[in-house]
Amino acid sequence: MATILEALSVAFDHHRAGRLVEAETLYGRILDVDSTNATALQLLGALMADRGEDTRAADLLARSLEQAEDNADVHVNRAMVIARLGRVAEAEAHYRRALSLAPAHPSARNNLGLLLRDAGRRDEAVAAFRQAVADHPTFAEAWFNLAATLEGTVALEEVAETLERGVAHCPGFEPLRAALARLQPGLEQRLEQRRAERTLEQAQRLHEQGRLDDALILCRNALAAADAPHTLGNLLEDLGRPEAALDWQRRAVAVRPDDARAWYALGTLNARAHRYGAARAACGRAQSLLPQVPKIPMTLGGLCFEQGDLPAALAALRHTLTLDPTLWVARSGLLFALGFDEESDPDAVYQEHREFERRHIAPLGLTPAPHANPRDPERRLRVGYVSPNFYGHPCGNFVLPLVENADREGFSVTCYATSPVRDALTDVFARAADRFVACHDDDDDALAARIRADGIDLLVDCSGHLTGHRLFTFARKPAPIQISYPLYPDTTGLSAMDYRIMDRWFAPPEADAWHSEALIRLPDIYAVFKPRPSDATPDPTPPAMARGFVTFGSFNNLSKLGDRTVAAWAAILRGAPTARLVLKWRSLNDPVFAAATRARFTALGVDGERIDLLGWSADPHDAYRGIDIALDPLIANGGTTSCEALWMGVPVLTCAGRRMFSRVGECYLENIGLPDLITRSVEEFVALGVALAGDPARIARLRQGLRERVAASPLMDAPRYVRHLERAYRLVWQRWCAGLPPAPVGPEVFDRPL
């Protein structure tokens, strides 16, 4: 035995001195004499491992363990070898066995940490390294491994603190010092960033408090904070500097490409600038990052609608409601868009409007109190108009004549302005009304209570489901009689809305079935037109006389241009090969969308060069001077655009259909005495368009004195219109005084005495 021990000692000296051949020879001789010698097997296994012969080393170490299973060092050695052979689970078992035999074994704990880290079990690895340095504070490699494993998962300060502790315990270990030096620039940057973040938090608090200028100063001092560009963009937007805000939101998404808030803000800012293509792309990116946030597809639906991509708008709004069926703003947007859809059935659209009440109003469980208004059928009545558009908005121009021409002996007029927007037209409303109430800060309960306290007898909604509506106020029934004014093209769907103003053209006999309200059919026209201020005047000579070709035009929302409409217009252009078509809409400022719009016509055999596209302009009137004939969309007829065309001396060619929205053009043309421009089928519409394109003299006759004809017609006869409207008010009031429920009012009653 003494001879074997001496031989082991000599062999180990050779091994330690790097004389591996000599060491291997002696280990072999010892095993020739004693093949089960655990120490010789262990040391020869370690030598084989150093040489890279891992398979042989693993075998030798396994034989050593057969003789000395409780030797922690052998378990560690064998674990290292078989780990390199890819047998990770077996290696882990050996390390854990070594630690059960020697809980403070430094190499076992450190190597186990490395094994776990390489296996992606970072938290377990960190725990192993922490225990290793706790057991052996001067174990430099364990400190280094701990810091390396922490980096990227914890704050930079914690990594630096770990390295500093390692250097303190192991001052001579250069890798620890080098790693700490490498972190220093990042630490300084991180400290600066933390200071910036604190400054930014203060700026955000000031922003919330409305101290925008102070917030802006602090925000500019906090640009090192990652969220600063987005916050600065929001501030600049609230300060009325949209282009600067847009620039900072672009920087925000460049710094943080996955910041959905900045992408969404970028989208809404582009939309305000009528850059709908860029807006849609930005909101699409926001949706890809936050697919479950319903307001993003809702905004996308509005953008698609503005672009004229109605199918995409409908899909986005329906998707919004699958994400949040309670989001009534999205449902109102869907209802409005359905009115433009050439494929929608009016019965189905009516049911969709009734769904608004079932989904959003019925769950409120509203039980309005009885009204105390005196039931005197002849007394002076209090009329309230509710609108967010008492300013220079097209809807405002349709409502103003009602206020200006009211019979003050029979009616007092209160305007309830539900939007904070004010301009010169707002002042006109305020002067014309008996009372002008700014109530945009009132919630629905407060506004209903205010109206009830004011003793309003007839409350008129001027929005329907348009943006900014207050239908939830009407659902609380603050007035005994509630009336929908037809600036929105369809029913409100509310049981609390008693009546809807229409006319005999706009509302054919079957229209009653498509309304939750009782219809009041005025004898002439459903609304009276008051042109927006403009210096542009019509030219009685058609542009075709100078150009030698006829120019058709439409300035309608492109969402009205469904496939049937485009097909009909393309057929006219094919039948009149020299004619041109001008389309004008704000989304056509976008060259990509403009190209897509032209492509719809080229696909139908019309040269894209014959389609002229115009974008947004401050005054739309002047562009009508370049148009010979305006073309009405088939399903969703023009409203303001048709009135403005006629006012500018441009005849409108229309096709009256089954749906109410397709009969607006008929209403206008009947009232100004141009029924010859009303067609009843697409074929007739196309034929008349082609015929007009070949007869400039006929166009000239149609244009002669057209503005004067419009001005003298019921379309612009505000006093006559308001007398009819107020007669309707009186009739429905008398029914209420008699305790009778709402009932339709036909045009024939306006010829009878009250």
By mean pLDDT, which of 146-160, 232-246, 307-321, 657-671 is the weakest?
Answer: 146-160
pLDDT (tens digit per residue) in 74-129: 999 999 999 999 999 999 999 999 999 999 998 999 999 999 999 999 999 999 99
Gap between the Cα atoms of 156 and 147, Å rounded: 10
| Predicted pLDDT of residue 136 | 92
Percent with pLDDT over 90 in the chain:
70
Lowest pLDDT segment from 437-441, 444-448, 506-510, 670-674: 506-510
Characterize 453-473 residue by residue with b for buried, 16 or more Cβ atoms within 10 angstroms of its Cβ, and e for exposed.
Answer: ebebbbbbbbbbbbeebbbbb
Q: How far apart are CA 648 and CA 714, in angstroms?
A: 17
pLDDT of residue 186: 63
Residue 596: CA atoms inside 13 Å, Cβ hemisphere, count? 12
Q: How far is CA 509 from CA 384, 506, 513, 669, in A?
A: 29, 10, 9, 19
* CATH of the domain spanning 344-363+376-528+726-754: 3.40.50.11380
Average pLDDT over residues 225-238: 85
Poorest-pLDDT segment among 202-211, 463-472, 661-670 = 202-211
CA distance 716 to 340: 26
**Whether the Cβ atoms of residue 407 and residue 723 lie closer than 8 Å to each other:** yes
Weakest mean pLDDT among 197-206, 446-455, 471-480, 620-629? 197-206
- The confidence score (pLDDT) of residue 587 equals 87
- Rounded mean pLDDT, 348-352: 96
Q: Is the pLDDT of residue 168 over 80?
A: yes
Cα dihedral across residues 332, 641, 646, 425: positive or negative? positive
pLDDT value at residue 1: 45
CA Rg, the chain, in Å? 41
pLDDT at 342 over 70: yes
* Range scoring the smallest mean pLDDT among 150-164, 241-255, 411-425: 150-164
Residue 307's nearest CA partner among 346, 281, 345 is 281
Residue pair 130/158 in contact by the 8 Å Cβ criterion: no
The reported pLDDT for the residue numbered 109 is 93
Q: What is the pLDDT of residue 562?
A: 94
* pLDDT of res. 59: 92
Overall average pLDDT of the 720-734 stretch: 97
pLDDT tens across 267-309, in order? Answer: 999 999 888 989 999 999 999 999 999 999 999 999 999 988 9
Confidence grade of residue 620 (pLDDT, cut at 50, 70, 90): confident
The answer to whether 557 and 640 have CB atoms below 8 angstroms apart is: no
The segment(s) of the chain belonging to CATH 3.40.50.11380 are: 344-363+376-528+726-754
Task: Work out the average pLDDT over 731-740.
Answer: 97
Of residues 524 and 181, the one with the higher pLDDT is 524
Q: Which residues contact 149 (CB under 8 A, 6 or more apart)?
A: 113, 117, 122, 125, 126, 129
- Protein fold of 191-343: 1.25.40
For helices 260-272 and 242-255, the axis angle rounded to 10 degrees is 150
Q: Which CATH number fits domain 543-711: 3.40.50.970, 3.40.50.2000, 1.10.3470.10, 3.40.50.1980?
A: 3.40.50.2000
User: Higher pLDDT residue, 66 or 3?
Assistant: 66
**pLDDT score for 188:** 62
Q: Which residue, 243, 226, 241, 233, is CA-closest to 207?
A: 233
Q: Does domain 2-186 have CATH number 1.20.1250.20?
A: no
Distance in angstroms (rounded) separating the CA atoms of residues 656 and 527: 18
Task: Tell me the average pLDDT of the chain.
Answer: 92
Q: Nearest 5°: phi and psi at 116?
A: -65, -40
Provide the 10 A C-beta neighbour count for residue 439. Answer: 18
Per-residue pLDDT tens over the stretch 124-167: 999 999 999 999 999 989 898 998 898 888 777 788 788 788 87
pLDDT value, residue 213: 84
Q: Which of 284, 296, 354 is nearest to 327 (CA)?
A: 296
User: Both tokens of residue 689?
Assistant: 């368009």
- Percent of residues, the chain, with pLDDT higher than 70: 98
CATH 1.25.40.10 segments of the chain: 2-186, 191-343
The pLDDT tens digits of the residues spanning 510-551 come to 999 999 999 999 999 999 999 988 888 998 899 999 999 999
